[in-house]
Amino acid sequence: MADALTITDLVKQFGGLTATDHLSLSVDEGEVHAVIGPNGAGKTTLIGQLTGEITPNSGSIRFAGREITGLPVHRRSMLGLARSFQITNVLADFSAKANVALAVQAHQGHSFRFLRKAANDPRLVDPALEYLAIVGLDNRAEVAAANLSHGEQRQLELAMALATQPSMLLLDEPMAGMGPEDSARMVDILKRLKGDLTILLVEHDMDAVFALADRITVLVYGRAIATGTPDAIRSDPEVRAAYLGEETADA
């Protein structure tokens, strides 16, 4: 199976802190690859480097066979990388439908001068409704994002990411702040996307990780101490000592 993403010897330092320490890993096309680790492991810093928001000190990032280490955020997005954030990133005063329509508009390269009109343009609205249906929000299309529950806002953000027609999703704690019911709903949505998209998942909810991941990489202080199947990771003594045996929150 071909690699969708290949990271080679990646290093990122902030002053005297090494957040990414000569990290190498690969993500296969169509797989869900989870990245887990304790506080300060460098998971979100890694995602920032993959999207282009953080520039590594050294190393290489290849996506779909292309070197992207020096590309800006928008170029990576156009190549098929999409990110969701730890903190919900939606336009609160706009309806769910309008939020996704604007994401469709952005992907098509149109101007943002007429934000309100996007919600009435069938070229934008029709695909927006399709993406809302994928994440289970088709019956909430006219509701303002501010009036959606936290779980629904995360579903909306996922619909907005899908509207950019990515081949790979970078998901930074999609279950953050969710209760068990919302988390289970998000797991079901992501299961339906498995195989159609490549997914790199950073998540602290271990039940979700083990339910979704084909492979898991464990980061500790910016280094990958193990990569393997969920069963292999669950039984790895070094991993259990470093992370799984501790009641730590993710960061």
More confident residue, 121 or 195: 195
Residue after which a domain boundary falls, among 165, 187, 213 = 165
The b/e string for 145-175 (b: 16+ C-beta within 10 A; e otherwise) is: beebeebbbbbbbbbbbbbbebbbbbbbbbb
pLDDT band with cut points at 50, 70 and 90 for residue 251: very low
What type of residue is 190? L
- Side-chain half-sphere of 222: how many Cα atoms within 13 Å? 15
Domain that holds residue 123: 89-165
CATH number at residue 44: 3.40.50.300
- 200: tokens are 């790199």
CA separation for the pair 71, 89 (Å, rounded): 23
Q: Could you tell me if 176 and 62 lie in one domain?
A: yes
Residue after which a domain boundary falls, among 165, 188, 218 = 165
Q: Could you tell me if 128 and 171 lie in one domain?
A: no
Q: Could you tell me if 160 and 187 lie in one domain?
A: no
Q: Could you tell me if 125 and 71 lie in one domain?
A: no
pLDDT per position as a tens digit, 143-192: 999 999 999 999 999 999 999 899 999 998 889 888 899 999 999 999 99
As a three-state string, the secondary structure of the chain is CCEEEEEEEEEEEECCEEEEEEEEEEEECCCEEEEECCCCCCHHHHHHHHHCCCCCCEEEEEECCEECCCCCHHHHHHHCEEEECCCCCCCCCCEHHHHHHHHHHHHHCCCCCCHHHHCCCHHHHHHHHHHHHHCCCHHHCCCEHHHCCHHHHHHHHHHHHHCCCCCEEEEECCCCCCCHHHHHHHHHHHHHHECCEEEEEECCCHHHHHHHCCEEEEEECCEEEEEECHHHHHHCHHHHHHHHCCCCCCC
Q: Could you tell me if 134 and 179 lie in one domain?
A: no
pLDDT per position as a tens digit, 30-82: 999 999 998 889 999 999 999 999 999 999 999 988 999 999 988 898 899 98
Q: Could you tell me if 123 and 220 lie in one domain?
A: no
Q: Could you tell me if 250 and 172 lie in one domain?
A: yes
Q: Could you tell me if 15 and 136 lie in one domain?
A: no
Query: What pLDDT sits at residue 115?
Result: 55
Calculate ∠ Cα 128-133-135, nearest 5°: 100
Q: Could you tell me if 185 and 244 lie in one domain?
A: yes
Query: What pLDDT sits at residue 232?
Result: 94
More confident residue, 76 or 112: 76
Q: Could you tell me if 247 and 181 lie in one domain?
A: yes
Residue after which a domain boundary falls, among 120, 146, 165 = 165
Number of folded domains that form the chain: 2
Q: Could you tell me if 9 and 106 lie in one domain?
A: no
Q: Could you tell me if 131 and 141 lie in one domain?
A: yes
